[in-house]
């Protein structure tokens, strides 16, 4: 897996990702302490609202970034986003009211919604070989999981030396280091789209590619399954550990660590599995695994606390493993399902749509847990996950060939795209690797079906 780090450009980008993640982790801890400083007992409500603002920024901003990303130099966009995030982190220690926190969080997350999908869309161009790209995805997953374990420990150590305001200095340093690392390499230019659409219509381009591509419709359903599982862990771990099982605060960290450990173990072994089996046989069963594990969790919270605790740790590790089985190969589907010109829009759409799923599952996990009880909530989330897994199976056809025979009816004879085409009924037919783009606006459901909407 570490062999991909021999590529200098990727090595610098991966290091930029890691230091930015550590900075973000420090900011998460510091933000909680800042909210308590400002709002006292209402800090939970402040953080909940800040989380909602984060998701709204992710869902609303990234499609617009995807619409213009091929027209703006990648390096300039990434560095600008890092500098904005550093500036926000520099301002956060000096706020003294809740509305200022909300405003700065929106700017910070809008910059992240600009940075992340453009960063992700650049990696396939840096690592064009699929085996290298798969290993880079696993390495990225590992970085996210390690950060979730390392950043709180680093924050705790730093808090013995500085106040929580000092943690924001670490955040600023992380974003500035990320910007410097991005500046230090030349990034491949984004392929410009030939579409003559306006910016507003281009903001929906990624979503239209998703809806038109069977495997991406399946990915969208699996995003909902992941959001149900992750939302359960993020929102309800503290409730289950502290209130339902009457465990200590330290046990909350242990449970979250098990979730991260399950994800890391999968990330380490997944490249070889994907090389041998491919994406569909790995991702689709993972959706059913998540549904089964959430159902088991519903039974565990009703069990004897002494028995329930080790079972909960095992269940949380399985939830981490199941989410990694979907998230890690997901970017491979994006890469396979679009051309270079559509890649920024499609990666932005994945970023936006996947976080939109959390806008559904976060309230369900939190509000339903408080109103209906944890067992009922987990069963309902398991049902939602099962429905998503079934929808993914229905959407993603077995075999899923990359090359498809199809017919063009809207292209003039002599068009460059028809250089290998033969005369077919009402048009020109040929076979090649198929993605939704300027010339292929519909997915053929049978051989020889017209694909151009014009």
| Digit-coded pLDDT (tens) for 393-451 | 999 998 888 888 888 888 888 888 888 888 877 788 888 888 888 888 888 877 667 77
| Cα separation of the two ends of the chain | 45
Per-residue pLDDT averaged across 33-48, rounded? 70
CATH topology of domain 199-398: Growth Hormone; Chain: A; (1.20.1250)
Q: What percent of the chain is modeled with pLDDT above 90?
A: 27
Q: Which of 1-15, 177-191, 230-244, 374-388 has the highest mean pLDDT?
A: 374-388
Q: Is the pLDDT of residue 74 over 80?
A: yes
Share of the chain residues as helix, strand and coil, in percent rounded to the nearest 5: 75, 5, 20
Q: What is the DSSP string of 282-322?
A: HHHHHHHHHHHHHHHHHHHTTS-HHHHHHHHHHHHHHHHHH
Tokens of 181: 């690392």
- Give the DSSP per-residue string, 172-235: HHHHHHHHHHHHTSPPPPPPPP-----HHHHTTHHHHHHHH-HHHHHHHHHHHHHHHHHHHHHH
Q: Are 380 and 243 in contact (CB under 8 A)?
A: no
Report pLDDT for 191: 67
Q: What is the pLDDT of residues 77-120, one digit of tens each?
A: 999 999 999 999 999 888 888 889 889 989 998 998 888 888 88
Q: Do domains 1-136+148-187 and 199-398 have the same CATH topology?
A: yes
Taking phi over 0 as left and psi of -120 to 50 as alpha, with beta for the rest, 101 belongs to: alpha
Looking at domain 1-136+148-187, its CATH class is mainly alpha
- C-alpha 254/C-alpha 153 separation (Å) is 12
Q: How many CA atoms lie within 13 A of 435 on its CB side?
A: 16
The model's pLDDT over 121-134, given as tens digits with 9 standing for 90+, comes to: 888 888 888 888 88
Q: For residues 337 and 210, what is the distance between their CA atoms, to the nearest angstrom?
A: 9
Summarize pLDDT for 235-270 with one digit per residue, the tens.
Answer: 888 788 888 888 876 787 788 888 888 888 888 888
Of the pLDDT bands very low, low, confident and very high (cuts 50, 70, 90), residue 47 is low
345's enclosing H/E stretch is helix 343-363
User: In a 10 Å sphere around its CB, with 0-12 CB exposed, 13-18 middle and 19+ buried, how is residue 61 labelled?
Assistant: buried
Considering the chain, what percentage of its residues have pLDDT values greater than 70?
93
Task: Give the contacts of 375 (CB within 8 A, at least 6 positions apart).
Answer: 298, 299, 301, 302
Task: Report the predicted TM-score, pTM, of the whole model to 2 decimal places.
Answer: 0.82
Under the banding of pLDDT at 50, 70 and 90, the label for residue 172 is very high
The reported pLDDT for the residue numbered 161 is 83
Domain boundaries, the chain: 1-136+148-187, 199-398, 401-454
Q: What is the pLDDT of residue 197?
A: 59
Q: How far apart are CA 352 and CA 56, in angstroms?
A: 9
Comparing 8 with 141, the larger pLDDT belongs to 8
């Amino acid at each position: 897996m570490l062999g991909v780090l021999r590529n200098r450009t990727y090595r610098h980008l991966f290091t930029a990702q890691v230091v930015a993640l550590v900075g973000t982790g420090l900011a998460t801890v510091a933000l909680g302490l800042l909210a308590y400083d400002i709002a006292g007992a209402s800090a939970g409500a402040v953080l909940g609202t800040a989380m909602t603002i984060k998701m709204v920024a992710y869902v609303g901003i990234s499609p617009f970034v995807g619409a213009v990303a091929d027209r703006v130099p990648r390096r300039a966009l990434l560095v600008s986003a890092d500098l904005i995030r550093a500036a926000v982190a520099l301002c956060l220690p000096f706020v003294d009211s809740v509305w200022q926190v909300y405003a700065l969080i929106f700017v910070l997350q809008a910059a992240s919604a600009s940075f992340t999908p453009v960063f992700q869309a650049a990696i396939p161009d840096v690592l064009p070989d699929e085996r290298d790209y798969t290993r880079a995805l696993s390495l990225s997953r590992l970085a996210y999981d390690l950060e979730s374990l390392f950043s709180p420990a680093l924050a705790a150590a730093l808090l013995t030396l500085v106040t929580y305001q000092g943690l924001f200095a670490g955040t600023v340093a992380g974003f500035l280091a990320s910007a410097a690392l991005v500046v230090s390499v030349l990034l491949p230019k984004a392929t410009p789209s030939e579409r003559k659409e306006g910016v507003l219509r281009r903001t929906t381009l990624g979503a239209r590619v998703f809806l038109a591509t069977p495997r991406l419709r399946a990915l969208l359903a699996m995003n909902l399954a992941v959001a149900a599982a992750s939302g359960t862990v993020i929102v309800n771990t503290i409730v289950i550990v502290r209130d339902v099982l009457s465990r200590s605060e330290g046990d909350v960290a242990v449970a979250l660590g098990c979730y991260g450990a399950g994800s890391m173990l999968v990330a380490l072994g997944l490249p070889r599995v994907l090389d041998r089996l491919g994406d569909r046989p790995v991702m689709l069963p993972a959706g059913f695994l998540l549904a089964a594990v959430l159902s088991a969790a519903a039974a565990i919270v009703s069990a004897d606390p002494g028995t329930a605790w080790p079972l909960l740790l095992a269940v949380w590790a399985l939830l981490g493993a199941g989410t990694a089985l979907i998230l890690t190969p997901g970017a491979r589907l994006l890469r396979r399902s679009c051309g270079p010109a559509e890649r920024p829009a499609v990666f932005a759409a994945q970023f936006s749509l996947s976080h939109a799923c959390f806008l559904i599952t976060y309230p369900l996990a939190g509000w339903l847990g408080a109103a209906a009880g944890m067992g009922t909530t987990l069963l309902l989330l398991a049902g939602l996950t099962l429905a998503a897994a079934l929808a993914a199976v229905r959407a993603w056809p077995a075999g899923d060939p990359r090359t498809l025979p199809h017919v063009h009816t809207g292209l003039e004879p002599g068009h460059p795209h028809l250089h290998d085409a033969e005369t077919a009924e009402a048009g020109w037919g040929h076979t090649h690797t198929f993605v939704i783009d300027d010339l292929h606006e519909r997915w053929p459901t049978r051989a020889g079906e017209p694909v151009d909407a014009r």
